[in-house]
């Protein structure tokens, strides 16, 4: 009987997973802005709670905080867009330099290896076709601007409603659950909130530190638009593991185009590499990884899966969602055994050390309690 139940349960869970993924794909136009609103609501919740304790109305606080959030986001977007246009206007020969550099690189490789990638008479034609196809891909990507604008427009709306109506969720659980069920739900909400909060604050600190380090490196080598590229790198750094790679390619390409000296490109590459090593091996694990207690394989898998399902938004949102899933698995007694697949191992080590320390203390207490009656008998 158990042998028949086991495959049925596995098929049942697999079917539920397929339905969830399909629902996330077909309803992403609604789910993506809701998820962004939820993420920003978790980040802004302490500020709203602080203002409400001062006696302000929840609706007024939610509206004010959402308005301030919109002003900050508009300022950041305006800065990035105007800076990008300024760079393009002041570097009219950027595309020509890219083509010339590509041609010289191909010719150099052919001369050193003896392998002919292109026929010399068709080299320029092939390169032009490559750039034309690249422009076509770029045009296709720009066609999704409408969907992105819809997400940007709806996110503050959902942010306001989530901040204003957050008490309804608490009332719902208090009115409909009690006893062990309510305790399990409260445990899950506490763990999920802690995981998301640690991720958000760790990401914020890491973003600021990354921007400062990048700005210092670019200024030392006299790179133009250092503020733009430092902010650009800091924003892409939100995407774990892949964001830095994309940003470094853009920065080094700009340095290669605008600087005649090849040594400058090498020095900037070395400095950015060591900066990235510090961020990924020291700062990110301490600020984000250790606090969420999720292993890097699962984080990278969440980033890739998010890119497949929701695109760029999924690459960012699926990491805190993974923290919520981990909190749900740990809070449910039936699923608790699967939590080890998500954990980084650091939490387990801490728990083992705590258990070991508690056992030693208990043994000491027992030995002390045994000695006291023996001493009384001797007296």
Burial environment of residue 54 by CB neighbours within 10 A (0 to 12, 13 to 18, 19 or more): exposed
Q: Over pLDDT 90: what percentage of the chain? A: 20
How far is Cα 230 from Cα 247, in angstroms, rounded to an integer?
Answer: 9
Q: Quickly state the pLDDT bin for 265 (edges 50, 70, 90).
A: confident
- Report, as an integer, the average pLDDT of 220-246: 85
Residue 240 structure tokens: 């774990």
Q: How confident is the model at residue 98 (pLDDT cuts 50, 70, 90)?
A: low
Tens-place pLDDT, residues 30-44: 999 999 999 999 889
Q: Which pLDDT value is given to residue 150?
A: 78
pLDDT higher than threshold 80 for residue 176:
yes
Residue 97 confidence class, pLDDT cut points 50, 70, 90: low
Model confidence at 326: pLDDT above 80? yes
Band of residue 75 on the pLDDT scale cut at 50, 70, 90: very high
State the Cα–Cα distance between residues 218 and 211, nearest whole angstrom. Answer: 11
User: pLDDT band for position 122 (50/70/90)?
Assistant: low
Domain boundaries, the chain: 11-96+148-176
CA neighbor of 199 nearest in space, from 160, 151, 240: 240
The confidence score (pLDDT) of residue 144 equals: 54
pLDDT at 63 over 90: yes
Assigned token pair, 360: 């030693």
pLDDT band at 262 (very low <50, low <70, confident <90, very high): confident
Confidence of residue 317 (pLDDT cuts 50, 70, 90): very high
| 178-203 confidence digits (pLDDT tens) | 888 888 888 888 888 888 888 888 88
- Among residues 11, 48, 42, the alpha carbon closest in space to that of 323 is found at 42
Q: Residue 346 — very low, low, confident or very high, per pLDDT cuts 50/70/90?
A: low
* Token code pair at residue 224: 């133009």
DSSP states of 52-119 as a string?
HHTT--HHHHHHHHHHHHHHHHHHHHHHHHHHHHHHHHH-TTHHHHHHHHHHHHHHHHHHHH---SS-
When pLDDT is averaged across residues 90-106 and rounded to a whole number, the result is: 64
Which one is predicted more confidently, 240 or 120? 240
Prediction pTM value: 0.75
Q: Are 40 and 159 in contact (CB under 8 A)?
A: yes
């Amino acid at each position: 009987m158990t042998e028949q139940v086991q495959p049925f349960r596995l098929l049942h869970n697999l079917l539920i997973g397929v339905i969830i993924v399909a629902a996330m794909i077909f309803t992403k136009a609604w789910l993506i802005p809701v998820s962004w609103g939820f993420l920003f609501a978790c980040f802004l919740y302490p500020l709203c709670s602080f203002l409400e304790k001062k006696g302000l109305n929840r609706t007024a606080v939610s509206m004010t905080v959402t308005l301030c959030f919109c002003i900050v986001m508009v300022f950041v977007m305006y800065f990035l867009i105007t800076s990008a246009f300024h760079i393009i206007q002041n570097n009219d020969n950027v595309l020509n330099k890219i083509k010339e550099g590509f041609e010289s690189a191909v010719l150099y490789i052919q001369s050193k290896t003896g392998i002919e990638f292109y026929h010399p008479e068709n080299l320029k034609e092939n390169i032009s076709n490559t750039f034309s196809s690249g422009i076509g891909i770029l045009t296709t990507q720009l066609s999704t601007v409408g969907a992105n604008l819809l997400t940007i427009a709806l996110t503050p709306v959902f942010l306001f409603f989530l901040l204003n109506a957050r008490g309804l969720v608490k009332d719902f659980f208090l009115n409909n659950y009690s006893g062990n069920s309510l305790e399990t739900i409260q445990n899950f909400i506490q763990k999920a909130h802690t995981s998301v909060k640690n991720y958000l604050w760790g990401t914020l600190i890491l973003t600021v530190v990354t921007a400062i380090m990048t700005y210092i490196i670019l200024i030392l080598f006299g790179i133009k638009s250092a503020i733009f590229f430092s902010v650009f790198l800091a924003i892409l750094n939100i995407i774990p593991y892949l964001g830095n790679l994309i940003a470094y390619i853009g920065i080094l390409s700009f340095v290669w185009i605008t600087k005649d000296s090849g040594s400058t490109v090498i020095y900037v590459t070395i400095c950015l590499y060591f900066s990235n090593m510090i961020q990924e091996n020291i700062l990110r694990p301490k600020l984000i990884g250790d606090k969420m207690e999720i292993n890097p394989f699962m984080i990278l898998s969440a980033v890739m899966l998010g890119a497949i399902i929701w695109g760029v938004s999924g690459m960012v949102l699926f990491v805190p969602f993974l923290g919520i899933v981990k909190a749900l698995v740990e809070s449910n007694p039936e699923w608790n055994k699967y939590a080890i697949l998500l954990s980084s191992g650091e939490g387990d080590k801490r728990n083992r050390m705590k258990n070991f320390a508690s056992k030693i203390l208990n043994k000491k207490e027992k030995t002390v309690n045994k000695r006291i009656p023996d001493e009384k008998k001797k007296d």
